Structure 1
Amino acid sequence: MSWFSDEGGEYHLVIADQFGGNRKKINFKKPTFYYTPVWSPDSKYISFGDADRNLWVVNVETGSAQLIDNEGFAHPERTIYPEWSPDSKWIAYTKRLKNQYNAIFIYSIEKKKSFQLTDGMSDSRSPAWDAGGKYIYFLASTNYGLNVGWLDLSSQERPIRRAIYMAVLTKDAPSPFLPKSDDEVTEKKVNKNNKKDVKDKCPSVNIDFKDIQKRIISLNLPERNYSSLKAGKQGVLFYLESVPNEGLKLHRYSVEKRKGEKIADGIQTYTVSNDGEKLLCRFKGGKWVIADANGKINAGKGVIKTADMKMRLVPSEEWKQIFREAWRFQRDYFYVKNVHGLDLDWAYRTYSPWVDHVRHRVDLTYILDILGGETSVGHSFTGGGDLPDVERVPVGLLGADYKIDNGKYRIVRIYNGENWNPKLRAPLSAPGIDVREGDYLLAVNGIELNSDVNLYSLFAETAGKQITITVNDKPVREGSRNFTVIPVRSEAALRQRAWIENNRRKVDKLSNGKLAYVWLPNTSTAGYNSFNRYYFAQQDKKGAVIDERFNQGGSIADYIIDLLSRDLIGYFNNPVGKHQPFTAPNAAIWGPKVMIINEMAGSGGDMMPYMFKFKKIGPLVGTRTWGGLVGIWDVPRLVDGGYITAPRGGFYNVKGQWDVEGKGITPDVYVEQTPKMVNTGHDPQLEKAVEVAMELLKKYEVKLLPQPPDPVRVKRPVK
């Protein structure tokens, strides 16, 4: 067996017998982090990937390593990994082409040369050799499209469909899907005296690369979101299917039967034994199961008892390993080689002695935070790790603000939420709950509540559970009302929605109904959903205030910017009602747009106003953004489950200059949120944005043109 070990401070390959003895160490010229080591079937080679997406093969006997290829891009999804042919003479792998689609390649051990199998007009991945040596299978998608822009918001809600394909490797081999003959087949007798059973003979894999793309055929399976294609015994395939709202399902396909069948639900990952007889599956909840590859899988049978596994751990030694690994993350993954000019050796010499004084994982996190800070980068985060479990009391909340009045708690504001939305359920605004602003909260579950009692002490352990509250419009029990309510665990979503709706109403009032208001919490799923919900529902407005304050980033908001920058190119008439025409394009708000920014918006929240300004959509109002435009992905977790980031990609502009990171985006109209104005109910930035937009409306308001006179297109010669 083999594994990578960082004993001594750097990773190296270790080969040992099945008991971990007779160890042989193989070092590499430039040690880094390594991925997906796979033995060749004849045990002469091991192939693996590294941090820089290189694919290697090492000769076990000599220890010499040969570079096969590079994936081409530091994409968040690693698709380059080795798949050995049954005869150990070929390695199939995936790499990204210049168009950023994946293609299948095959490397010849003998010739030390790679051959491209697929043409790059589809996104192809997950190669798997048939055990018989005549075919290679793979997945391919022809609707991959906008998913190539993995960092772009426009890749949201773009379902991928993949089909499963087979390439017939030699020009003389027939397709296994040719029409079957009705003639009887005489079984060939196997000589029992043969020293080797036919099944044990390793097939020789021969490949005719000329015209091989003409020998690619599709399996008779519908296109679905398939992944993790793996070969079992000859003519048997396994693959995962992602089903919306249901998760992953494992299927088995038989080439002979020309049929696929589902064999497991709720699976997360799996692997196939070398002989194709067993499956190792991981199910939800972290349960591992060894199952027969020939039948359906029962998640309750063959369970590996991982709960019984224990290891001896010396925290002080582990903390030293974690520190060095975190340092190596900056060395091997940082998006520019000079690490912003940091002398990494100096950083290690300076901070590694501190680890000797660590007495708790939080102490180590503090040191890692300082180490990351030395890189002078916006996205430097660390946390998690092996921390003690802390039992937390789920305090229930009613979604209300209170004040003390007459020695009682009085409800000042009730947050309404959306009771049809599970994430915005408001306990006091449900149908039949007649609790009003101004009421006194007198008791909880019959226990009297006065201002000398901590209000929330009576709500301990009540989140999500029915309780009875007693309220009255007077601070006395007489005439009080009792209601059964279910407190929520958090009011954050209710309060956020109240802030959004208050802003929307304020913009509507200040603009006399002419301006839309859209808040974007991030440039990920929540921001995408918020934009779609609020922007298009206000298409009747003459302009828009786009509020990206406190934007937490995520993706590049090309989807939003593209829609905000649309130009009106014409109309389609509407022959009914008041004849309001359809605009072309139809999904847009025409007229001026103003964006509000602040210092709490960063990352994708930096990039969005950058693009807004670059496309000259409108002015920016507020304060300068955070200035953190690098991407964090691709870096492994620390050994105890903790993390420290090492940015993997940074932004530079069309002039070839590094931009935004460390600078932020400066507003066109600078406005601060002064405490005095905010505390008196004002939002200076929002109010100024409305003022600027209304001024622009005077000059740039778009008025839809009415339908012109009916055209006369029928013409006949005049007699």
Structure 2
Amino acid sequence: MSDASGEERIQVFSGTAQPTLDADVGRVVALEAAPVGRRVALANHRNEVLLADLDSGTVRVIARSEFGRSEQLAWSPDGAWLAFPLWTGPRHSAIRLYEVATGKAVSATSGEFRDFYPAFDPEGRYLYLLSVRTFDPVYDNVHFELSFPRGVRPYLVALQAGGRPPFDPEPRGFSTKEEKDKPVADRPLRIDLEGLERRIAAFPVPEGRYRQIAGISGKALWTVFDVAGAHGRGGHAEKPGRLECFDFAATHCETLVEKVDWFALSRDGKTLVLREGKRMRALEAGKKHDDKGDAGYPEHSRKTGWLDLERIRVSVEPALEWRQMLHEVGRLQRDQFWVADMSGVDWQAVVRKYEPLLARVATRGELSDLIWEMHGELGTSHAYEAEGDHRKPPAVALGALAADFRFDPATGGNEIAHIAAGDSWEADTDSPLNAIGVEARVGERVLAVNGQPVSRERPVPALLVHQAGAKVELELAQANGEVRRTVLVTLLKDEVPARYRDWVERNRSWVHERSNGRVGYLHLPDMMSAGFAEFHRYFILECERDGLIVDVRYNRGGHVSQLLLEKLARRRIGYDFARWERPMPYPADSAFGPVVALTNEHAGSDGDIFSHCFKAMKIGPLIGKRTWGGVIGIWPRHR
């Protein structure tokens, strides 16, 4: 795709650049060239699937969804059929098969589940796909809840009726003579449409979090990832997945590569390109690579398969690049703003207004400022610009103690005025001064850091520059300066988690004290994974009190408000009784008494929505100030 003309157009390269296909194809999110003939399948931001004929120069829409995009496209080996997922509802999709010759489309799956990532067997027997149709719930360890953290399995659809069961291979001898069939691309692919949706079978592998699937001769490849925490606490941050290979002849699945984020096959199916983080690798498809055998070879070699991406050099003219970027910003808003009339703003006139200022832009930072100003003309929320090739400032990593100090003239040291009380069981969310063996107290003085004396001119924070995460030695003394001790602490890289926990716990204690323990308190910092975790951490404790305060002040927004409101709206209608225990509420995890919410002008986005819906659902009174007012949302997907 090229936007040299000012709009995105198909550009064909065959040794030298060929003329572009001047047709509106939208913002392309997927593109796949046919293996036979000069056709290209595309999917765009308008939820359309397009077929472009490069010979005739025509483009036609072959499918469109009202619910989402079709981001995976797959051609049959002979180029006669195109497979793609089509959203048929908010949460379910079907795999569609489009026949190029007739222009007719049929469903290969029922559309009652979420089916995605179609891929053809190169031998023309099967259509592979991934699907969410294994409903084996897992009980939650915190709340009375069940969920489906895995749910996906690889499947195949038999394209012809009457064949052998795919996972019951035909008995064969041990002959080493290879039997070569006629290449599928040289013969038409036959699909028996009658009963097609019923000829689906799951691969004999467990459900998981599968992301890609592809076919090579006699085998299927896929990636699978472990369940991971949304923000990586407890040692379960998302890790690279595994590339697995299922061999039909052996009916056996094995792991080919342990760490992979994404893969692609060459057109002939013989070479596999893998990505792990920012590294890429090319290996023989379908064979397990022995990394131990790479010892002694250069890192970037045919033996190891690792590609030397540092060899890539690109010539960049900043002024031309910045002009393209400004125009692309204009197109992105024009094509994807939430209403077609741009809220009454003449957007093209806005772009023309700001374009002449490009001549005065001298740095990447000034370009960002220009884009922000241009976005401001829309008068909307969530219109941002981020990332890019900004010149990085010097990295000054300040080590933190999550404590407040004041200078003590008597000793010349820094008196500890406050120590944040975080989660003592998590070293990176508590002040190092609280660590076992350190156990500093408010009122003690810090006299020296790593042997360097503390003074008015060089307070403790100044001596912690470039020490983030490092171990440092502190000399502490009691208020009279007589009893001194030296302790070793590991400085925090980020003190915000400790400070935040300290703030929440002080608020909670204040509410408990003022209400004689009758009112509970919890705070929601955002409506993302952190806010979801905070809610469930405290709700099971605080909901048993006579009343509950839900504090959404300073809420940074997100998308989980509906999940939290659903639980806050629960009403107790009964109790479960057991002989030796106190009555337990029904439904579980429901508030005992009234619930009120606190909000302010710094609660925004989904924090706005939570505040409004808390009132609309009549969960309880909403107290505070008018919220930020930014509910035109954001979906970052073009970088």
Segment of structure 1 superposing worse, 131-140 or 496-505: 131-140
Aligned to 2:44: 50
Residue 630 of structure 1: SS of its match in structure 2?
Answer: coil
Amino acid at match of 2:279: K
Alignment deviations for residues 350-402 of structure 1 (CA, whole Å, 9 cap, x no partner): 10001110000110111100111111111121122111233312221222111
Aligned to 2:287: 295
Are 1:176 and 2:169 matched, yes or no? no
Residue 10 of structure 2: SS of its match in structure 1?
Answer: strand
Amino acid at match of 2:83: A
Q: What is the CA distance between 1:31 and its match in structure 2?
A: 5.2
Aligned to 1:424: 429
- Indicate how the Cα distance of structure 1 residues 188 and 348 shifts in structure 2: closer, same or farther if over 3 A, else same: closer
Rg (Cα) greater in structure: 1
Q: What is the CA distance between 1:241 and its match in structure 2?
A: 0.4
Residue 331 of structure 2: SS of its match in structure 1?
Answer: helix
- Indicate how the Cα distance of structure 1 residues 174 and 410 shifts in structure 2: closer, same or farther if over 3 A, else same: same
- Does the 8 Å contact 1:161/1:226 carry over to 2? no
Aligned to 1:628: 630
Q: Which of residues 184, 206, 211 is equivalent to 1:227?
A: 211
Aligned to 2:197: 213
Residue 433 of structure 2: SS of its match in structure 1?
Answer: coil
Aligned to 1:26: 21
Q: Which of residues 236, 248, 260 is equivalent to 2:253?
A: 260
Are 1:526 and 2:530 matched, yes or no? yes
Segment of structure 1 superposing worse, 338-347 or 420-429: 420-429
Residue 201 of structure 2: SS of its match in structure 1?
Answer: strand
- Indicate how the Cα distance of structure 1 residues 201 and 479 shifts in structure 2: closer, same or farther if over 3 A, else same: closer
- Does the 8 Å contact 1:97/1:103 carry over to 2? yes
Residue 87 of structure 1: SS of its match in structure 2?
Answer: coil
Are 1:15 and 2:12 matched, yes or no? yes
Aligned to 2:156: 166
Q: What is the CA distance between 1:499 and its match in structure 2?
A: 1.0
What is the Cα-based RMSD across aligned positions, in Å? Answer: 2.3
Alignment deviations for residues 481-537 of structure 1 (CA, whole Å, 9 cap, x no partner): 211112212221111111101110111011111111010011110111001100102
Q: What are the residue-to-residue correspondences of 1:615-654 with 2, within 5 Å? A: 615-633=617-635, 635-637=637-639
Segment of structure 1 superposing worse, 245-254 or 105-114: 245-254
Are 1:131 and 2:122 matched, yes or no? yes
- Indicate how the Cα distance of structure 1 residues 502 and 157 shifts in structure 2: closer, same or farther if over 3 A, else same: farther
Amino acid at match of 2:81: W
Paired with 2:459 and 2:5, the residues of 1 have a C-alpha distance of: 55
Aligned to 1:239: 222
Q: What is the CA distance between 1:328 and its match in structure 2?
A: 0.7
Residue 385 of structure 1: SS of its match in structure 2?
Answer: coil
- Does the 8 Å contact 2:219/2:246 carry over to 1? yes
- Does the 8 Å contact 1:80/1:95 carry over to 2? no
Q: What is the CA distance between 1:9 and its match in structure 2?
A: 1.2
Q: TM-score, normalised by structure 1?
A: 0.81
- Does the 8 Å contact 1:397/1:490 carry over to 2? yes
- Does the 8 Å contact 1:468/1:482 carry over to 2? yes
Q: What is the CA distance between 1:452 and its match in structure 2?
A: 2.6
Aligned to 2:263: 270
Q: What is the CA distance between 1:27 and its match in structure 2?
A: 0.8
- Does the 8 Å contact 2:78/2:184 carry over to 1? no
Are 1:328 and 2:331 matched, yes or no? yes
Aligned to 1:564: 568
Paired with 1:186 and 1:471, the residues of 2 have a C-alpha distance of: 78
Residue 223 of structure 2: SS of its match in structure 1?
Answer: strand
Amino acid at match of 1:32: G
Amino acid at match of 1:581: P
Alignment deviations for residues 114-154 of structure 1 (CA, whole Å, 9 cap, x no partner): 101111222111111111112111111125799xxxxxxx9
- Does the 8 Å contact 1:226/1:239 carry over to 2? yes
Amino acid at match of 2:472: I
Amino acid at match of 2:588: N
- Does the 8 Å contact 2:398/2:468 carry over to 1? yes
Q: What is the CA distance between 1:184 and its match in structure 2?
A: 9.2
Alignment deviations for residues 641-688 of structure 1 (CA, whole Å, 9 cap, x no partner): xxxxxxxxxxxxxxxxxxxxxxxxxxxxxxxxxxxxxxxxxxxxxxxx
- Indicate how the Cα distance of structure 1 residues 528 and 521 shifts in structure 2: closer, same or farther if over 3 A, else same: same
Amino acid at match of 1:208: D
Paired with 1:178 and 1:439, the residues of 2 have a C-alpha distance of: 75
Q: What is the CA distance between 1:22 and its match in structure 2?
A: 5.2
Paired with 1:617 and 1:417, the residues of 2 have a C-alpha distance of: 31
Are 1:348 and 2:341 matched, yes or no? no
Gaps of 5+ in 2: 138-143, 228-235, 292-298
Paired with 1:26 and 1:182, the residues of 2 have a C-alpha distance of: 51
Q: Percent identity?
A: 27
Q: What is the CA distance between 1:620 and its match in structure 2?
A: 0.5
Residue 628 of structure 2: SS of its match in structure 1?
Answer: coil
Q: What are the residue-to-residue correspondences of 1:86-105 with 2, within 5 Å? A: 86-105=77-96
Q: What is the CA distance between 1:603 and its match in structure 2?
A: 0.8
Amino acid at match of 1:81: Q
- Does the 8 Å contact 2:522/2:542 carry over to 1? no
Are 1:438 and 2:443 matched, yes or no? yes
Q: TM-score, normalised by structure 2?
A: 0.91
- Does the 8 Å contact 1:37/1:49 carry over to 2? yes
Paired with 1:511 and 1:22, the residues of 2 have a C-alpha distance of: 75
Q: What are the residue-to-residue correspondences of 1:511-660 with 2, within 5 Å? A: 511-576=515-580, 579-633=581-635, 635-637=637-639
Amino acid at match of 2:494: S
- Does the 8 Å contact 2:77/2:185 carry over to 1? no
- Does the 8 Å contact 1:133/1:203 carry over to 2? no
Aligned to 1:510: 514
Q: What is the CA distance between 1:329 and its match in structure 2?
A: 0.8
Paired with 1:176 and 1:400, the residues of 2 have a C-alpha distance of: 65
Alignment deviations for residues 283-335 of structure 1 (CA, whole Å, 9 cap, x no partner): 12x11111011311367511211111111111011010000000111101111
- Does the 8 Å contact 1:433/1:483 carry over to 2? yes
Q: What is the CA distance between 1:231 and its match in structure 2?
A: 1.3
- Does the 8 Å contact 1:416/1:428 carry over to 2? no
Amino acid at match of 1:214: R
Are 1:204 and 2:188 matched, yes or no? yes
Are 1:389 and 2:380 matched, yes or no? no
Residue 243 of structure 2: SS of its match in structure 1?
Answer: strand
Paired with 2:45 and 2:80, the residues of 1 have a C-alpha distance of: 25
Segment of structure 1 superposing worse, 106-115 or 253-262: 253-262
- Indicate how the Cα distance of structure 1 residues 288 and 87 shifts in structure 2: closer, same or farther if over 3 A, else same: same
Q: What is the CA distance between 1:52 and its match in structure 2?
A: 1.0
Amino acid at match of 1:240: T
Paired with 2:613 and 2:6, the residues of 1 have a C-alpha distance of: 44
Amino acid at match of 2:80: K
Paired with 1:354 and 1:248, the residues of 2 have a C-alpha distance of: 46
Q: What is the CA distance between 1:434 and its match in structure 2?
A: 4.1
Q: What are the residue-to-residue correspondences of 1:678-717 with 2, within 5 Å? A: none
Paired with 1:158 and 1:294, the residues of 2 have a C-alpha distance of: 31
Paired with 1:45 and 1:544, the residues of 2 have a C-alpha distance of: 62
Gaps of 5+ in 1: 147-153, 191-196, 638-719
- Does the 8 Å contact 1:396/1:461 carry over to 2? yes
Paired with 1:158 and 1:457, the residues of 2 have a C-alpha distance of: 49
Paired with 1:589 and 1:12, the residues of 2 have a C-alpha distance of: 57
Residue 352 of structure 1: SS of its match in structure 2?
Answer: helix
